[in-house]
Amino acid sequence: GAQVQLITAGKVTTCTGLPYKPFQYEENGKVIGFDVDLMDLVAKKLNATQEIVDTPFEGIQSGVDLSSGKCDLAAAGMTITDARKQNFDFSDPYFEATQAIVAKKGTPGQFEQLKGKKLGYQNGTTGQEYAQKNAPGVELVNFEDLGLELNAVETGVVDAAINDNGVVFDWVKDHPDFEVVNQFDTGEKYGIGVKKGNAALLKVINETIAEAKSSGEYDKIYQKWFGK
């Protein structure tokens, strides 16, 4: 098959927007998570090592980071959307997601009930898009990343926050005063991004996902990050 060209020989550079626990986050100076494990399999298949580049999600989802050659691929718990497909190519889906609202326990979760209150969202995300379409009268507050967004919920700077179910359910496990107060079945699917036209790399990524699913490796990684 066609030769995969990496930006730096021997290295698969992955653009991601930290923190997005449990998909990618830093612990003891190391970036770990579900997406990291999955992309390690891609690197292995290419006889390379993975190097992670932390960069604002906005530049990832707009395609700027991929088209400018900042990274070989983008793995960022990123939803496949038609708008994004204009700017870069997606792998086959590897994970499903919905939107969810997290708030202090007992907070009403309907947008109607959040009117006049502050709802945090993460810049450039499908959560932002969903809130802007469906939450008229709710005061929307922008955050650069998930860490800042959830911190604002914790400190009461906002009344609630919207983001993907996987990350907010993970967060409430360690924050017992908070809960997921609503979920919207947006039917999202995550994909890995590559520069438009990089069919050789896309093929390796798709083969890796398919092989991980059939070998049981995918389930092992899933259990590692979502099993507890």
- Can you give the binding site for ligand ARG, defined by CB under 6 A? 16-17, 20, 57, 61, 76-79, 97, 125-126, 146, 164
Residues 6 or more apart whose CB falls under 8 angstroms from that of 136 comprise 111
Locate all alpha helices (DSSP H) within 34-160, ordered by sequence.
34-45, 57-61, 64-67, 82-85, 126-134, 146-154
107 vs 125 by CB, closer to ligand ARG: 125
Q: In the complex, what is the shortest distance from the CB of residue 69 to ligand ARG, in angstroms, rounded to a whole number?
A: 20
66 vs 146 by CB, closer to ligand ARG: 146
DSSP secondary structure code for residue 2 in this structure: P
Q: In the complex, what is the shortest distance from the CB of residue 88 to ligand ARG, in angstroms, rounded to a whole number?
A: 13
Q: In the complex, what is the shortest distance from the CB of residue 214 to ligand ARG, in angstroms, rounded to a whole number?
A: 25
20 vs 88 by CB, closer to ligand ARG: 20
43 vs 78 by CB, closer to ligand ARG: 78
Here the tokens at position 38 are 């999955």
Length of the chain: 228
Q: In the complex, what is the shortest distance from the CB of residue 76 to ligand ARG, in angstroms, rounded to a whole number?
A: 4
Nearest to 221 by CA among 95, 135, 130, 102: 95
90 vs 111 by CB, closer to ligand ARG: 90
Contact 34, 22 (CB under 8 A): yes
Q: In the complex, what is the shortest distance from the CB of residue 36 to ligand ARG, in angstroms, rounded to a whole number?
A: 11
Contact 50, 43 (CB under 8 A): yes
Contact 188, 98 (CB under 8 A): yes
